[in-house]
Amino acid sequence: MGWNSWNTFGCEINEQLIMDVADSLVSSGYLSAGYEYLVIDDGWQAMTRENGRLVPDPKKFPAGMRALADYVHSKGLKFGIYSCAGNKTCAGYPGSFGNEFIDAETFAEWGADFLKFDYCYFPDWADPKIAYQKMGQALRETNRPMCYSICEWGKNQPWKWARNTGAHMWRTTIDMVDKWDSVRWVGFDMQNGLSSYAGPQGWNDPDMLVVGLNNQGFVAEGGCTQHQYVSHFSLWCMLAAPLMIGADIRSIDNFSQRLLQHPDLVAINQDPLGIQANRIIDSWQNDMRRQIWVKPLANGDMAVGGFNLSDQPMLLELATGQLPLNPDGQYQIRRLTLDGSKNRRHSLVHGEQKVQLDAFECAIFLISKKD
């Protein structure tokens, strides 16, 4: 869980901005909610290396990366940096291809706790698995613990091999933008069937959150409605996906802040059992599409997400016989809502549970055995 500069700022980043975001992560409650990594994405670098090493742009980061990392650490946060497996980064700055060990050493000396490793300008003749393995080995040899995030866009099915590189998370798709069609495709269409590859110390990553962008920033492309943002965030929590905020938290709207810090949804995401939700229903009827996802939790409860992916209201019917429940068991069900107005338990009646959903709305339930 953390924050990344790319979605809002692209390469328009600087030292003061990162310090201000660090302050906001603490003062606005994000760190307390679990968002501990502050990751600087592409655009921090100078255009040329010095003595073989990557160096920060002196105009953007005059005090240097070590001083900035020290400031971030002083706030109780962890410091993240970006590089690329290719010859250049996506924005055209020096990449790490052939320089993995010296770059890993540099990042460790700066006090980095996280590396996002991208895939632009990767040589056609080279094997990406070997390149990502090489950087993983380089990071381990620094003896500094770092979260290793592979951003290979899912091109070579990294969920099947990335864990062996030492990576802790791996992108499963291309970049997502702040538009419902993009969120739907990346999340609801592309993540099913990947649950067996995720678990403690290694996670499928369907890209950074667009909650709170509201058609602003570098990946603005139409924006989403509140219901769409809730469905987006809820699915990422069900998927046990990394939660990396991309919005400008210094000026984010109150609704988005409350959603990102929703304690029950974050708890589902951070559940120690670490099981990614499976999609059990994806059905169409009269141009309306519904999905139901199920996620077992460590305490024996079950999180169930029902999603209306249509642009018109829907009566969602949840048949308890479709869920992995003991037919003779007695259960309670609790629907989670943002304001807590329906955040109460009632008996789960075997048969069908029905809930009215607006366009693009979701309903997230916690099902537990009765005491």
* H-helix or E-strand spanning residue 203: strand 203-205
Question: Minimal CA–CA distance to 291: which of 275, 309, 278, 312?
Answer: 309
Question: Minimal CA–CA distance to 305: which of 324, 291, 315, 289?
Answer: 291
The question of whether 175 is a catalytic residue gets the answer: yes
Task: Report yes or no: 288 and 308 within 8 Å, Cβ to Cβ.
Answer: yes
Give Cβ neighbours of residue 103 (< 8 Å, ≥ 6 apart).
53, 54, 83, 96, 135, 138
Residue with tokens 């992108």, as numbered in its chain = 171
Residue with tokens 């905020």, as numbered in its chain = 245
Q: How many residues does the chain have?
A: 371
Task: Report yes or no: 85 and 119 within 8 Å, Cβ to Cβ.
Answer: yes
Residue with tokens 């791996």, as numbered in its chain = 170
Q: List residues bridging with 37 in a β-sheet.
A: 2, 78
* H-helix or E-strand spanning residue 295: strand 288-296
Quote the CA–CA distance of 224 and 212 in Å, as a whole number: 9
Quote the CA–CA distance of 279 and 239 in Å, as a whole number: 10
Q: How far does Cα 136 stand from its chain's mean position?
A: 21
Q: Kindly report the CA angle at 148 between 146 and 152, in degrees rounded to 5?
A: 165
Side chain identity at residue 163, one-letter code? R
Q: Which of 20, 57, 70, 175 is catalytic?
A: 175
Q: Which of 118, 205, 207, 301 is catalytic?
A: 118
Q: List residues bridging with 346 in a β-sheet.
A: 333
Quote the CA–CA distance of 11 and 185 in Å, as a whole number: 26
The question of whether 42 is a catalytic residue gets the answer: no
Active centre residues (catalytic) = 118, 175
